């Protein structure tokens, strides 16, 4: 169990939720036929990315009250027999009614094995270029997330979470071999930071890192950067793409983690006696 194939579904997301879900299903099944073991969908894959949409597209995720997207994800994972990192959807909390940007994670039996609510909301203002304020409608999650697979544990963050290195470092220190980020960077921040951040998190921790974006659609106001990417523990780009709808495949060999940690042993040289051990 040292090798696995990961597939990132760079999905073209429109305003028709039913269509978004059925397109996601076709692509997950296709990835499975190509031998993928772990499949990842992008941030906000059932809704266009924008604060104006989240309330209308929000669903509950509780196991007793699963919404249509969540039910479909469960079935997709089971039918495709893959571990599925279900991108994210706007989640309406049953108790408070608050809305979260939430990733659900499914095993190959279709059982929910993890849920990550975006912890760091995307509130930015780059004058004349892009202003976005998720916190106008979303609430932040308060929990770190990882899940178990036959290959080991994988940590999960959503998009803006990748800018905060603590998540990846804590996940790695707790034994995760990879971090996966469904994300939707844009035409301003994408070229500036997307690949650099994914590579930085991989190099910091000597783990695999994946970022899965929606495809770019100029019919909507938010133009996703695309460029879904898998980076290896040496910081090398294993697979990536441009901005159209596609599936990015990468074969991960977990022996690479041991190799780089032996060759350049920063992983064991860290001076936790001089600063807090973030894995605690």
Ligand X SMILES: NC(=O)CC(=O)C(=O)O
How many other CB atoms are there within 10 angstroms of residue 80's CB atom?
A: 23
How many other CB atoms are there within 10 angstroms of residue 100's CB atom?
A: 26
3-class DSSP assignment, residue 119 = coil
- CB of residue 216 vs ligand X: minimum separation in angstroms? 13
The residue (of 45 and 160) whose beta carbon lies closer to ligand X is 160
Enter the DSSP assignment of 183.
-
Q: 194-197: list long-range contacts, CB under 8 Å, 24+ apart.
A: 194/225, 194/227, 194/229, 195/227, 195/229, 195/237, 195/240, 197/162, 197/163
Catalytic residues: 43, 118, 159
Q: Closest residue to ligand X, Cβ-based?
A: 189
How many other CB atoms are there within 10 angstroms of residue 56's CB atom?
A: 10
- CB of residue 100 vs ligand X: minimum separation in angstroms? 13
- CB of residue 124 vs ligand X: minimum separation in angstroms? 7
28, 11 contact by CB (below 8 A): no
Residues found near ligand X in the complex (CB under 6 A): 122, 159-160, 163, 184-186, 189
The residue (of 189 and 228) whose beta carbon lies closer to ligand X is 189
Percent helix, strand, coil in the chain, to 5, is: 30, 30, 40
The residue (of 141 and 260) whose beta carbon lies closer to ligand X is 141
Among all chains, which residue has been given the structure tokens 């940690």?
261
Enter the DSSP assignment of 249.
E
Among all chains, which residue has been given the structure tokens 């699963």?
66
The residue (of 83 and 141) whose beta carbon lies closer to ligand X is 141
- CB of residue 63 vs ligand X: minimum separation in angstroms? 27
Residue 280, Cβ density class (10 Å: 0-12 exposed, 13-18 middle, ≥19 buried): exposed
- CB of residue 33 vs ligand X: minimum separation in angstroms? 30
The residue (of 46 and 189) whose beta carbon lies closer to ligand X is 189
């Amino acid at each position: 169990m040292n090798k696995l194939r990961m597939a990132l579904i760079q999905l073209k997301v429109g305003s028709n939720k039913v269509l978004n879900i059925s397109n996601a299903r076709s692509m997950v099944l296709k990835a499975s036929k190509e031998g993928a073991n772990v499949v990842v969908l992008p941030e906000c894959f059932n809704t266009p990315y924008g604060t104006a949409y989240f309330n209308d597209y929000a669903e509950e995720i509780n196991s007793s009250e699963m919404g249509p997207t969540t039910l479909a994800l469960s079935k997709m994972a089971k039918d495709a027999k893959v571990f599925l990192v279900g991108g994210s959807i706007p989640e309406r909390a049953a108790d408070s009614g608050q809305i979260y940007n939430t990733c659900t994670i499914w095993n190959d039996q279709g059982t929910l094995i993890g849920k990550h609510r975006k912890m760091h909301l995307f509130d930015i203002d780059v004058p004349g270029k892009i202003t976005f304020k998720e916190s106008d409608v979303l609430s932040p999650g308060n929990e770190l997330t990882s899940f178990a697979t036959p290959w080991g544990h994988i940590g999960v963050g959503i998009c803006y979470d990748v800018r905060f290195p603590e998540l990846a470092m804590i996940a790695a220190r707790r034994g995760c071999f990879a971090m996966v980020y469904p994300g939707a960077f844009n035409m301003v921040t994408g070229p500036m930071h997307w690949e650099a951040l994914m590579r930085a998190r991989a190099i910091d921790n000597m783990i695999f890192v994946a970022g899965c974006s929606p495809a770019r659609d100029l019919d909507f106001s938010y133009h996703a950067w695309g460029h879904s990417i898998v980076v290896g523990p040496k910081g090398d780009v294993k697979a990536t793409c441009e901005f159209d709808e596609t599936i990015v495949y990468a074969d991960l060999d977990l022996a690479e983690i041991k190799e780089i940690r032996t060759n350049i042993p920063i992983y064991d040289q860290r001076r936790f006696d001089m600063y807090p051990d973030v894995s605690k």
